[in-house]
Structure 1
Amino acid sequence: MKIAVAGTGYVGLVTGVCLAEHGHLVTCVDVDEAKVALMQQGVSPIYEEGLSELMNKNRDRLTYTTDYKAAYADKDVIIIGVGTPEKKDGSANLSYVYAVAEQIAHSVTRDCVVVVKSTVPIGTNDKVEALLNAKSDPSIHIHVASNPEFLAQGTAVRDTLHASRIVIGVEEPETGELLKAMYQEFDAPILVTNRKSAEMIKYASNDFLALKISYVNEIALLCELVGADIDDVTRGMGYDSRIGNKFLQAGIGYGGSCFPKDTKALHWLANFHDYEIKTIKAAIEVNENQKLKPIKIARKYFDSLEGLTIAVLGLTFKPGTDDLREAPSLVNIPIMLDDGAHVKAWDPVGMENFKKRALGDITYCDSIESTLDGADVCFIFTEWPEIKNLDVSLFSKEMRQAIIIDGRNCYALARMEQEPVIYHSIGRRTIFNLNRG
Structure 2
Amino acid sequence: MKLTIIGTGYVGLVTGTCFSEMGNKVYCVDIDDGKIENLKKGIIPIYEPGLEYLVVNNSKNGDLFFTENLKEGLDNSDICFIAVGTPMGEDGCANLEYVLEAAKEIGNLMSHDMIVVDKSTVPVGTADKVKKTINEELDKRGVKYNVHVVSNPEFLKEGAAVENFMRPDRVLIGSDEDDVIETMKELYAPFIRNHERFIVMDVRSAEMTKYAANAMLATRISFMNEMANICERVGADVNNVRAGIGSDSRIGYSFLYAGCGYGGSCFPKDIQALIKTSDDHGYDPKMLKEVESVNNRQKLALVNKITERFGNDLRGRTFALWGLSFKPETDDMRESTSLVIVNKLTELGARIKAYDPKAMDIAKEYYFKDNKNVEFSSDKYHAVDDADSIILVTEWKEFRSPDFDEITKRIKNKIIFDGRNQYNKEIMKDMGFEYHQIGNGS
TM-score by length of 1: 0.96
Pairing partner for 1:95 from 81, 94, 97:
97
Shift of 1:384: 0.6
Q: Residues 271-297 of structure 1, C-alpha deviation per residue, up to 9 Å, x if partnerless?
A: 111101221111000000000111111
Question: Do the aligned residues in 1 keep the contact of 2:234 with 2:441 (CA within 8 Å)?
Answer: no
The reply to whether residue 218 of structure 1 matches residue 218 of structure 2 is no
2:88 equivalent in structure 1: 86
1:130 equivalent in structure 2: 132
1:327 equivalent in structure 2: 336
Partner Cα separation in structure 2 for residue 40 and residue 415 of structure 1: 50
Instruction: Decide which moves more: 52-61 or 393-402.
Output: 393-402
List aligned pairs for 1:210-289, cutoff 5 A: 210-289=218-297
1:414 equivalent in structure 2: 426
**Paired residue secondary structure (1:320):** coil
Question: Do the aligned residues in 2 keep the contact of 1:70 with 1:107 (CA within 8 Å)?
Answer: no
Instruction: Decide which moves more: 238-247 or 180-189.
Output: 180-189
Partner Cα separation in structure 2 for residue 79 and residue 393 of structure 1: 52
Partner Cα separation in structure 2 for residue 142 and residue 280 of structure 1: 35
Q: Residues 106-142 of structure 1, C-alpha deviation per residue, up to 9 Å, x if partnerless?
A: 1110111000000000000111011111112542111
Letter in 2 for 1:75: S
List aligned pairs for 1:120-199, cutoff 5 A: 120-136=122-138, 138-187=143-192, 189-199=197-207
Shift of 1:19: 0.6
**Paired residue secondary structure (1:192):** strand
Question: Do the aligned residues in 2 keep the contact of 1:49 with 1:320 (CA within 8 Å)?
Answer: yes
Partner Cα separation in structure 2 for residue 243 and residue 195 of structure 1: 29
Instruction: Decide which moves more: 46-55 or 232-241.
Output: 232-241
- How many residue pairs align between the two structures? 430
1:350 equivalent in structure 2: 359
**Paired residue secondary structure (1:184):** helix
Question: Do the aligned residues in 2 keep the contact of 1:315 with 1:329 (CA within 8 Å)?
Answer: yes
**Paired residue secondary structure (2:173):** strand
1:433 equivalent in structure 2: none
Q: Residues 193-212 of structure 1, C-alpha deviation per residue, up to 9 Å, x if partnerless?
A: 11000001100001100000
The reply to whether residue 30 of structure 1 matches residue 30 of structure 2 is yes
Instruction: State the superposition RMSD in angstroms.
Output: 1.2
Partner Cα separation in structure 1 for residue 430 and residue 209 of structure 2: 47
Question: Do the aligned residues in 1 keep the contact of 2:392 with 2:417 (CA within 8 Å)?
Answer: yes
Q: Residues 147-198 of structure 1, C-alpha deviation per residue, up to 9 Å, x if partnerless?
A: 0000010000001111110000013121111111111111361001110000
Partner Cα separation in structure 2 for residue 419 and residue 305 of structure 1: 26
Q: Which runs of 5+ in 2 are unaligned?
A: none
Q: Residues 320-350 of structure 1, C-alpha deviation per residue, up to 9 Å, x if partnerless?
A: 0000000011111112212221111101111
Question: Do the aligned residues in 1 keep the contact of 2:233 with 2:441 (CA within 8 Å)?
Answer: no
Distance 1:387 1:359, change over 3 A: farther
Pairing partner for 2:71 from 69, 72, 81:
69
Letter in 2 for 1:212: R
2:6 equivalent in structure 1: 6
Pairing partner for 2:401 from 367, 389, 405:
389
Partner Cα separation in structure 1 for residue 108 and residue 436 of structure 2: 58
Question: Do the aligned residues in 1 keep the contact of 2:3 with 2:77 (CA within 8 Å)?
Answer: yes
**Paired residue secondary structure (1:27):** strand
Letter in 1 for 2:431: E
Partner Cα separation in structure 2 for residue 239 and residue 391 of structure 1: 32
Partner Cα separation in structure 1 for residue 267 and residue 370 of structure 2: 24
Question: Do the aligned residues in 2 keep the contact of 1:7 with 1:28 (CA within 8 Å)?
Answer: yes
The reply to whether residue 400 of structure 1 matches residue 412 of structure 2 is yes
Letter in 1 for 2:227: I
**Paired residue secondary structure (1:4):** strand
Partner Cα separation in structure 2 for residue 254 and residue 210 of structure 1: 8
Partner Cα separation in structure 2 for residue 414 and residue 405 of structure 1: 15
**Paired residue secondary structure (2:191):** coil
1:378 equivalent in structure 2: 390
2:381 equivalent in structure 1: 369
1:360 equivalent in structure 2: 371
Letter in 2 for 1:343: I
Partner Cα separation in structure 1 for residue 258 and residue 101 of structure 2: 40
Question: Do the aligned residues in 2 keep the contact of 1:396 with 1:420 (CA within 8 Å)?
Answer: no
The reply to whether residue 305 of structure 1 matches residue 314 of structure 2 is yes
Question: Do the aligned residues in 2 keep the contact of 1:81 with 1:117 (CA within 8 Å)?
Answer: yes
1:435 equivalent in structure 2: none
Instruction: Decide which moves more: 394-403 or 274-283.
Output: 394-403
Question: Do the aligned residues in 2 keep the contact of 1:312 with 1:345 (CA within 8 Å)?
Answer: yes
Question: Do the aligned residues in 2 keep the contact of 1:74 with 1:109 (CA within 8 Å)?
Answer: no
Shift of 1:359: 4.3
Partner Cα separation in structure 1 for residue 27 and residue 214 of structure 2: 29
TM-score by length of 2: 0.95
Letter in 2 for 1:408: R
How high is the sequence identity, in percent, across the aligned residues?
43
Letter in 2 for 1:128: V
Pairing partner for 1:209 from 206, 217, 226:
217
